[in-house]
């Protein structure tokens, strides 16, 4: 992985003098797709469900990369036979409200840090 550092500078010209103003340095990590090591696994709380019963889903996202990723779009399919339970969607034990439409859940994850991110939600079949 490569890192680049840049800063901005302003130069104010006065009558017989000049003043320079510099920003802080901004560091950006440059990575290749090959540097990313992301794994995702989904499990259900049961293998057999009775109509009207709940199914809890657990999704584990493992970021084995050395960088935090920003604005990661999470999508998950919902079976036609199920209904998402409002208020049941959690990311690392914090409640979120995903967009539910056309048979899928969608949520923009603000960040995906190195390590494991846990997503959990419930449907009724």
Give one DSSP letter per residue of 21-90, joined into a string: EEPPPEEEEE--GGG--EEEEEEES-SS--TT-EEEEEEEEEE-SSS-EEEEEEEEE--TT-EE-TT--E
Spell out the CATH class of 36-124.
mainly beta
Q: CA-CA distance, 82 to 106, in Å (whole number)?
A: 16
Given a cut of 90, whether residue 40 has pLDDT beyond it is: yes
* Summary mean pLDDT of the chain: 89
Q: Which residue has the higher pLDDT, 71 or 54?
A: 54
pLDDT class for 98, splitting at 50, 70, 90? very high
Calculate mean pLDDT across residues 61-77: 90
Q: What is the pLDDT at residue 1? A: 65
> Phi, psi (5° rounding) for residue 34?
-65, -20
Given a cut of 70, whether residue 119 has pLDDT beyond it is: yes
Q: What is the pLDDT at residue 2? A: 73
What is the reported pTM?
Answer: 0.76
């Amino acid at each position: 992985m490569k890192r680049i550092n840049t800063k901005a500078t302003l130069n104010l010209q006065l009558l017989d003098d000049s003043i320079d103003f510099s920003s802080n340095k901004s560091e950006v990590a440059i990575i290749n797709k090959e540097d990313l090591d992301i794994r995702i696994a989904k499990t259900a709380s049961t293998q057999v469900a009775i109509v009207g019963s709940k199914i809890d889903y657990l999704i584990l996202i493992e970021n084995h990369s050395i960088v935090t990723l920003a604005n990661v779009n999470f999508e998950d399919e919902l079976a036609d036979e199920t209904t998402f339970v409002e208020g049941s969607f959690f990311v690392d034990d914090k409640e979120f409200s995903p967009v539910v439409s056309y048979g899928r859940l969608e949520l923009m994850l603000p960040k995906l840090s190195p390590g494991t991110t846990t997503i959990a939600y419930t449907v009724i079949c």
